[in-house]
Amino acid sequence: MTNAKGIDVSHHQGRIDWEAVGAAGYSFTFIKATENASYTDSRFAANWQDAKAAGFVRGAYHYFHPSTDPARQAAFFVNTVGGWDPTDISPALDVEISDQDAASLALSSTEWTDRTSTCLSEIARLSGRVPSIYLTAWGSDVWKTKIAQTTAPSWANNYLLWVSSFPAAQPEILKGWSTWTFWQFDTKGKVNGIDGQVDLDQFNGTLEVLLEWLKPGQ
């Protein structure tokens, strides 16, 4: 069986020829919607609409700044997306350390843990969907250095794991999970229909499994 292939994108990819990306064998996408409590990605609306029109299974993600009120960020994210179709991938929260976000870097492990949990639970409450959490398994990633230094928080397995882990034949399963749902395995991919580089992903299953998984009531 072949895992379904996807991409995750933002304004950095510019205008995307979604039909060409689909013809290259990609079937799902995560699209950056928002960041912090007031920034909307300039390509979100177009990507969200065009990916759907081209037949992609689509998901939206929010880039988290834990130094900002997490409940406000969750509301901003959900309101910006404006609702998820039953066949859309659940919302995702991108949790990582940015060298440019000094305020978040200064937070304690407890603050990182509590604020991440609050944002995830608010996204779930407001969207009615179980979110994914995007985490990196390389470098000084936040899960290992801020949130799960000794043991993973009890809420971790309530959410789906979208892990960035490479180069490797299989993704690293982070503490708190027994499996992964999505795997970002390359951040410098080349795909027809996109100028420049793009992040590449896999779903832990075939496209048929992904579509079945997304059916209401599953």
Which sequence positions are flagged as catalytic?
A: 8, 94, 96
Structure token pair of residue 171: 């993704």
What is the residue type of 45? A
Identify which of 128, 100, 33, 31 has the alpha carbon closest to the alpha carbon of residue 73.
33
CA distance 119 to 156: 13
Q: b/e per residue, 73-93, with b = 16+ CB within 10 A?
A: bbbbbbebbeebeeebbbbbb
DSSP 144: I
Identify which of 134, 177, 128, 182 has the alpha carbon closest to the alpha carbon of residue 156.
177
Structure token pair of residue 147: 């949130």
Question: What stretches of the chain adopt beta strand conformation (E)?
Answer: 5-9, 28-35, 39-40, 57-63, 92-94, 132-136, 160-164, 182-189, 198-203
Q: How far apart are the first and last CA of the chain?
A: 21
Question: What stretches of 98-149 adopt beta strand conformation (E)?
Answer: 132-136
- Whether the CA torsion 150, 125, 218, 87 is positive or negative: it is negative
Residue 6 main-chain phi, psi, to 5 deg: -145, 180
